[in-house]
């Protein structure tokens, strides 16, 4: 069983030790923590790599760097084990220009073998009879905040503790079932994934609940507000709902000509912060400017 030891890589000496250990491993486990809830573009906050000896936690928000992993990820002789890791690969490619070869996805492997429960927790319980539960509240915790809590770090590293052992089990089963070639094709597709930025649905404003109750002039204002919100979220890298909710946009669209920020607050139920941050832009949009 892979050792349950981990190191927070926060100094050059630790990074160099990690590089030596990871670079000589034949199989590594790979996972990330990123925030896709609060940001327009997912923000990578942690990178966890298990060498078989221990897990190393790298901080993408630090300046220490881990460029050596580029050679590891692209090595044809080192297996990179992930679990439903398509988005991990997309983000690592986007942020660091890494390329990937010889990936093994435990989620896809289990699906190919016909398993019904495909979560990492379910697979660990099945193959190792080990308890493994991840708290939902931690999944959406503020991963960009520093310092991280012990609870957050324990949550982050536990996925990598079992990945290598799970790879061994699933690889054996795929071989016995004659499915290695099929799995290899799936893994090549995963290695080739690329990140694409969100695009705006130009008709999305029509799907906001309450759109049909608006007058034609109000519908036009909603369309302008909807497009403004998307561009504002993109330029500020904030989640779209954090700029304005659909219902806030709908209420704004019903205001023909607000005369003040207080009018926006009263008419649309905006917080004072939102009225202060975006009020002048709202008034221009509502005035048709």
Closest listed residue to residue 5, CA positions, set 47, 41, 38, 53: 53
Is 90 exceeded by the pLDDT of residue 136? Answer: no
Is 90 exceeded by the pLDDT of residue 17? Answer: yes
Quick one: 198 exposed, middle or buried, by C-beta within 10 A (0-12, 13-18, 19+)?
A: exposed
| pLDDT score of 139 | 78
3 state SS of 277: helix
Residue 21 sits in the same domain as residue 140: yes
Residue whose token pair is 């607000």: 258
Confidence of residue 64 (pLDDT cuts 50, 70, 90): very high
3 state SS of 81: strand
Residue 156 sits in the same domain as residue 217: no
pLDDT in tens, 277-289: 999 999 999 888 7
Across 164-168, 251-255, 280-284, the highest mean pLDDT is recorded for 164-168
Structure tokens at 268: 């649309």
Residue whose token pair is 């609060």: 38
**How many whole angstroms separate alpha carbon 57 and alpha carbon 138?**
17
Is 90 exceeded by the pLDDT of residue 130? Answer: no
3 state SS of 80: strand
Average pLDDT over the chain reads 94
Is 199 part of any domain?
no
pTM over 0.85: yes
Structure tokens at 100: 């990937």
pLDDT in tens, 176-209: 999 999 999 999 999 999 999 999 999 999 999 9
Residue 150 sits in the same domain as residue 235: no
**Number of folded domains in the chain?**
2
What range defines the domain where residue 211 resides?
204-286
Residue 86 sits in the same domain as residue 31: yes
Final residue of a structural domain among 191, 219, 249: 191
Final residue of a structural domain among 143, 162, 191: 191
| pLDDT score of 88 | 98
């Amino acid at each position: 069983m892979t050792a349950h030891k981990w190191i927070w890589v926060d100094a050059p000496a630790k990074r160099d030790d990690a590089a030596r250990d990871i670079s000589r491993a034949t199989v590594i486990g790979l996972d990330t923590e990123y925030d896709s809830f609060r940001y327009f573009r997912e923000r990578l906050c942690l990178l966890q790599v298990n060498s078989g000896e221990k897990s190393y936690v790298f901080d993408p928000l630090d300046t220490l760097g881990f460029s050596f992993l580029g050679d590891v990820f692209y090595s044809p002789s080192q297996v990179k084990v992930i679990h439903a890791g398509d988005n991990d690969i997309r983000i690592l490619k986007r942020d660091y220009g890494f390329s990937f070869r010889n990936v093994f996805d435990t989620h896809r492997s289990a699906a190919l073998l016909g398993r019904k429960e495909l979560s990492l927790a379910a697979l660990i319980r099945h193959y190792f009879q080990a308890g493994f539960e991840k708290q939902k509240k931690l999944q959406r915790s503020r991963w960009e905040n520093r310092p991280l809590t012990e609870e957050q770090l324990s949550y982050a590293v536990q996925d990598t503790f079992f990945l290598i052992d799970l790879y061994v089990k699933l690889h054996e089963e795929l071989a016995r079932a004659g499915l290695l070639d099929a799995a290899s094709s799936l893994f090549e597709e995963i290695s080739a994934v690329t990140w694409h930025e969100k695009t705006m649905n130009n008709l999305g404003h029509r799907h906001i609940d309450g759109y049909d109750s608006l007058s034609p002039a109000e519908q036009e204002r909603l369309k302008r507000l909807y497009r403004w919100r998307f561009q504002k979220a993109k330029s500020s890298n904030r989640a779209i709902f954090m700029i304005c909710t659909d219902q806030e946009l709908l209420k704004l669209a019903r205001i023909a000509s607000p005369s003040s920020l207080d009018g926006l607050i009263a008419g649309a139920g905006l917080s004072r912060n939102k009225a202060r941050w975006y009020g002048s832009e709202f008034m221009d949009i509502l005035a048709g400017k």
